[in-house]
Structure 1
């Protein structure tokens, strides 16, 4: 899937969920989340990626900042201990 296709998909998903993409998932947060999920996939297990992402979303929905949630989960990575 090309980058433009991903952007179109995310716009479509945001519309279906009645949110504004740039308000809830700005480009900088997308980059941080993609880096984190890549690290989870490579250092934990791929199956943990969507589930961890969901938990981050729940935490953000309950009032945590996306940056703080990403930082906390990133701190749990095995590579962070090395």
Structure 2
């Protein structure tokens, strides 16, 4: 499907996100199955508990940390868990 076709269905978030992730992984040469729900939850927690710009930056850092830890779904889950815990502590300590 063309990028224009994907953009035309933006209201169908779940499927569009899945298709976008598949296209991005293909474009970047990545063959990794990850739980996108975990990453989206982390992005939400960082955006709401810290600041909106923290969401994409935090997910990038999680990917980088996972790669340094050897990669794979478990490394992504562990890095995401650590970052989510930090976001929760950040929110609690800032009174948010």
CA shift, 1:66, in A, is: 1.0
Residue pair 2:50, 2:91 contacting (<8 A) in 1 also:
no
Matches within 5 A, 1:1-82: 1=10, 2=12, 3-20=14-31, 24-26=32-34, 29-63=35-69, 65-77=75-87, 78-79=90-91
Larger Rg: 2
Partners of 2:92 and 2:64 lie apart in 1 by 23
Where structure 2 has 5 or more consecutive residues not aligned to the other structure, the ranges are 1-9
Partners of 2:81 and 2:92 lie apart in 1 by 11
4+ long deviations beyond 6 Å: none
TM-score, normalised on structure 1? 0.80
Residue pair 1:74, 1:80 contacting (<8 A) in 2 also:
no
CA shift, 1:35, in A, is: 0.9
Q: Name the SS for the 2:29 alignment partner.
A: coil
Aligned length: 77
